[in-house]
Amino acid sequence: MKLKALLPYVFLVISIGFSYCSGKDAATEHAEENGTGFEELTKFGSITLTLSGIQPNNIPFTNSETFKFAALKPGDNKLLIKDGFADFAMTRFLNTPDDAYQGSRVMIGLGIDNFKAAQTFSYFILILGDYAVISEDLTYFEMRKEFEDTDGEVSNFNFSNYSFNEQTNHLIFSFSFDVAAAANYTGNDLSVSGEVDVIVMEDVLPPD
């Protein structure tokens, strides 16, 4: 069974968990002690996201950030293969995760059909959580939104540069799409693009 229908609920649980986190776990404290732990949190690669459009105050903007921190939970950085279908689920944070004040994150779900053969694109989901776009004039707005390639408000979707190394679980791809004004917080047309360069962990299922 494909995980596409379950992904939004998985990401919702993740979001709720971070919203109610009141302290720092051991991984976060470890990362803050003399910079140690940084490599452990960033070794799984990053997601670069670029937003371009017009702010709610009608000022043009382009914002690009690299989300390079991975939570130390396999379920946030996984590959599940079943019946020739591959589900990828990736979460990256803008800052050290597991801190109630560092919740800016991007979550991506990707489906690839015929995984051991032609590897054809199936679906794409992007979720932005507590992501603040800050401008030079000291104004900001937040983006909390889910986008899917088949949504009616999404157009010009493009998926390219896909590659996956089965020996290293190294996943690379690019994406871009436009969002209608009525379907995003700015109230104006929005262009979204990104580069994914990550290492995922495979979720091994028991035999049927």
Contact 198, 109 (CB under 8 A): no
Mean local confidence (pLDDT), 112-122: 90
206, pLDDT greater than 80: no
CA distance 127 to 144: 7
pLDDT band for position 102 (cuts 50, 70, 90)? low
SS3 98: coil
Predicted local confidence at residue 138, as pLDDT: 84
User: Quick check: pTM over 0.95?
Assistant: no
Domains: count for the chain = 1
Question: For residue 116, is it within any domain?
Answer: yes
pLDDT band for position 201 (cuts 50, 70, 90)? very high
Residues forming a β-bridge with 128: 106, 145
CA distance 26 to 72: 11
Mean local confidence (pLDDT), 99-106: 74
Question: For residue 2, is it within any domain?
Answer: no
For the purposes of burial, counting CB atoms within 10 Å of the CB of 47, is it exposed (0-12), middle (13-18) or buried (19 or more)? buried
Predicted local confidence at residue 47, as pLDDT: 98
Predicted local confidence at residue 40, as pLDDT: 80
Tens of pLDDT, residues 30-86: 444 445 467 888 999 999 999 999 999 999 999 999 999 988 777 789 999 988 899
Question: For residue 194, is it within any domain?
Answer: yes
CA distance 73 to 201: 10
Tens of pLDDT, residues 172-186: 999 999 999 999 999
Domain that holds residue 167: 7-201
Predicted local confidence at residue 15, as pLDDT: 45
Question: For residue 206, is it within any domain?
Answer: no
Question: For residue 123, is it within any domain?
Answer: yes
SS (H, E, C) 118-148: CCEEEEEEEEEEEEEEECCCCCEEEEEEEEE
pLDDT band for position 28 (cuts 50, 70, 90)? very low
Which comes out higher in pLDDT, residue 11 or 89? 89
Predicted local confidence at residue 101, as pLDDT: 57
Predicted local confidence at residue 7, as pLDDT: 54
Query: What is the per-residue DSSP string for 25-68?
Result: -HHHHHHHSTTTTHHHHHTTEEEEEEEEEE-TTS-EEEEEEEE-
SS3 110: strand
pLDDT band for position 165 (cuts 50, 70, 90)? very high
Question: For residue 208, is it within any domain?
Answer: no
148, pLDDT greater than 70: yes
